[in-house]
Structure 1
Amino acid sequence: MDGYATLIFLFFGCSLSSCSKFPLPEYYYVNLLMNWTDAQDYCRVHYTDLATLESMDDINRLKADFSYNLSWVGLSRDPNSRRWSATVEANTTGFHAWAETEPNHIGGNENCVLMSTNRQWRDYSCDRVRTFVCYTVTNQNDTTYVFIPTPGTWNFAQEYCGEHHTDLAVIRTAVENDKVFSVKPPPAQVWIGPHRVRWTWADSSQSSFRNWKADEPENCDGDQLCAAENDLHEWIDTNCQNKNTFICHQGECSMTKTNFWFNQIFTAGPLYFPVAKLRTVVRLTTETNADMTDPAIQAQILQQLGAALTNLGGANFSLQWKIGPKKKEKP
């Protein structure tokens, strides 16, 4: 079934399709030695971005003649990415109570934070099980803290606090730090809100696929924030300033979900809109068993497309469907 969308945007084209019927990303090995940032810039100029890999199928589609010791892929971690669970923004409270030598991020796997028995903080593996402290903001904008004796991982604690309170404990001052310490039993080490954002892809893909080598990532010396793969396609973390060959990809698609992709007029930098409004009719061809005339399905697609366009260009878009007539079957 064919559909048409009306939107205010300036671009070459967009498409909605299932990857099984859509050209998959192409991967290109670049035999140049660059640090991770320069490699990303090169990929963005000549292709789409440093390689995003979403499954072993992508790994298997890498050309067999790759010959390198290490080659950059698009996975990295922001060294200043510690945030509070209650916000997607970086930690701007200005307060911390780290113990001496903390955070040390031992083994490259300590992405969450405990308050220890002496009021001080230490980073810790998010998958370990501990009790935790939630906080609640009242109508008077007062903050109260409550100890939860049920042990759980950091993610469990965050979900529990979000459902039953406001969130995991946010601590902005020494006074609030003392309040959290006072509500927990003396021997308990409890989860609190700060956590380190984990590895992310250069093109902002939400792919959770990882192919780490055994015992990786290890973050030796605390400065291994970029990912590279060896000739067996196993990934390691290494210093982003090292110079390696690299892999770019061309095109965007998801093997696990239907998504939108956009060919931008500008390959890098901000988007500029030279006209106040532009009405563009875009033909979207879909192959699906869903009823594309269903208003609920149309609304869901428009909502996702509108959000994607807004995130891409920072502007507001007005979208609507125009369902074209069905093609007549040949007699």
Structure 2
Amino acid sequence: MDRYTTLMTLLSFGCISGSQFPLRQYHYVNMALSWSEAQLYCREKYTDLATFDSLDDLNRLKADFSYSWAWFGLHDDPAAWETSMGNKSNSWRWSATGQTSTTGYQSWDRANPDYLDAKETCVTIIGEGLWNDLTCNASHTFLCFNDQNKKNYIFINQTMSWSSAQQYCRKNYKDLAMIENQEENTEAQNTKPSNYKVWIGLYQEPWTWSDGSKSSFRNWDPSSLNNYGGNQHCGTENSENVWGDEDCSVKRAFICHQVSKRKTTLRMKFSSDADLTDPKVNAQILQQVDFCDSFNHFFIVYFGVTFISVLLFKFSLSFK
């Protein structure tokens, strides 16, 4: 075995997988508070209301659930989508850019958007150029657009779900219609038959984590996710680890998480006959180091003095 290969072997076997050191420790707090009160408590005593990345995270939670449901960190801020074209993570976005509105223009019908039954996250344009949120799997005709010097809208007289319409527009044009001012909204309205309800490219992805995490993991109980009464905007979890939505002012127990702030720095020096200027060699060394350091997990690297002497490698490690 050459010295370079041995170096890689030592680095590989010296790493303890970060998965053995969970990023978060979960704490069930048997105290009845509103969601916002629970958030403050968790941020004072721990790190934040609980974020979950996987079923493994849920299974590591040990709790007696004295209350049938407990708050955790998922919430849906209605101020981000109910009355304005905001710029928060759960605000309305345009399919063509994946970004929130740059102009703030909106043309909502009265009482819309309302996120009815926690299902309406895609948008149609209806009579008089007004917008209405609907369930994305409904079938409607739609508007595509091209964007060269000016947006050009194209009416497609086929009924599809929002996502199928999006795929069609991206394949044949630019995307589903993007509307950023009154002139464009009038042109879009005039492009479709007057009595048709058609998809445009506006959509939203509800629910964000209290700690700002980007975790896409969800474990909703479909029967418990319903935005009953139009005011259920905070996430709860039961003893079976399934989730529902609830009025954020209700008093419930809650789940916090703690993230360790301890940092470990590894310094090492080595000498080798391998050509460390070789990009291939360099990349493989960095790959091994990155493996140990990924996701800021604690890691340990151990090199035996005897092996180092025999293999003519010299390592100096210090942790601080």
**Amino acid corresponding to residue 184 of structure 1 in structure 2:** K
**Separation in 2 of the partners of 1:158 and 1:264?**
46
The structure having more radius of gyration, on CA atoms, is 2
Q: Which runs of 5+ in 1 are unaligned?
A: 4-15, 252-261, 266-279, 285-291, 310-323
Encode CA deviations 1:290-310: one digit per residue, 9 max, x unaligned. Answer: xx95638959x98xx9xx99x
Aligned residue for 1:237?
245
Aligned residue for 1:124?
134
Aligned residue for 1:133?
143
User: Does 1:73 find its partner at 2:72?
Assistant: yes
Encode CA deviations 1:235-272: one digit per residue, 9 max, x unaligned. Answer: 22112222222101123xxxxxxxxxx8389xxxxxxx
**Amino acid corresponding to residue 161 of structure 2 in structure 1:** T
**Amino acid corresponding to residue 46 of structure 1 in structure 2:** K
Range 178-187 or range 231-240, more displaced = 178-187
**Separation in 2 of the partners of 1:62 and 1:106?**
32
User: Does 1:228 find its partner at 2:236?
Assistant: yes
**Separation in 2 of the partners of 1:22 and 1:31?**
26
**Separation in 1 of the partners of 2:142 and 2:29?**
47
Encode CA deviations 1:152-192: one digit per residue, 9 max, x unaligned. Answer: 43334445545654443222333211211233345542221
2:103 pairs, out of 93, 99, 107, with 93
**Separation in 2 of the partners of 1:192 and 1:297?**
49
User: Does 1:171 find its partner at 2:171?
Assistant: no
CA shift in 2, pair 1:182/1:168, >3 Å: same
User: Does 1:23 find its partner at 2:22?
Assistant: yes
Could you tell me whether the CA contact under 8 Å between 1:147 and 1:184 is conserved in 2? yes
**Separation in 1 of the partners of 2:196 and 2:212?**
38
Task: Give the helix-richer structure, 1 or 2.
Answer: 2
Aligned residue for 1:180?
188
2:261 pairs, out of 225, 246, 263, with 263
**Amino acid corresponding to residue 70 of structure 2 in structure 1:** S
More relative contact order, 1 or 2 (CA 8 Å, 6+ apart)? 1
Encode CA deviations 1:187-231: one digit per residue, 9 max, x unaligned. Answer: 542221222231122223333332223423211222211111234
**Separation in 2 of the partners of 1:161 and 1:18?**
45
Aligned residue for 2:255?
247
The Cα of 1:62 is off from its aligned counterpart by 1.9
**Amino acid corresponding to residue 93 of structure 2 in structure 1:** W
Encode CA deviations 1:51-83: one digit per residue, 9 max, x unaligned. Answer: 112333322222142311321111111211432
The Cα of 1:50 is off from its aligned counterpart by 1.0
Q: Say which SS state the counterpart of residue 68 (structure 2) adopts.
A: coil
Aligned residue for 1:41?
40
CA shift in 2, pair 1:87/1:203, >3 Å: farther
Percent identical pairs in the alignment equals 39
2:283 pairs, out of 291, 295, 309, with 295
CA shift in 2, pair 1:238/1:64, >3 Å: closer
**Separation in 2 of the partners of 1:223 and 1:243?**
15
CA shift in 2, pair 1:150/1:283, >3 Å: farther
Encode CA deviations 1:85-142: one digit per residue, 9 max, x unaligned. Answer: 245654453433333332232211101111125532211112334332233332x4x2
Could you tell me whether the CA contact under 8 Å between 1:66 and 1:231 is conserved in 2? yes
The Cα of 1:34 is off from its aligned counterpart by 2.3
TM-score (norm 1): 0.66
Q: Which runs of 5+ in 2 are unaligned?
A: 1-7, 82-90, 269-279, 311-320
Q: Say which SS state the counterpart of residue 120 (structure 2) adopts.
A: coil
**Separation in 2 of the partners of 1:182 and 1:296?**
59
**Separation in 2 of the partners of 1:296 and 1:135?**
46
TM-score (norm 2): 0.68
Encode CA deviations 1:22-71: one digit per residue, 9 max, x unaligned. Answer: 33522101122322223222222322221112333322222142311321
**Separation in 1 of the partners of 2:41 and 2:172?**
47
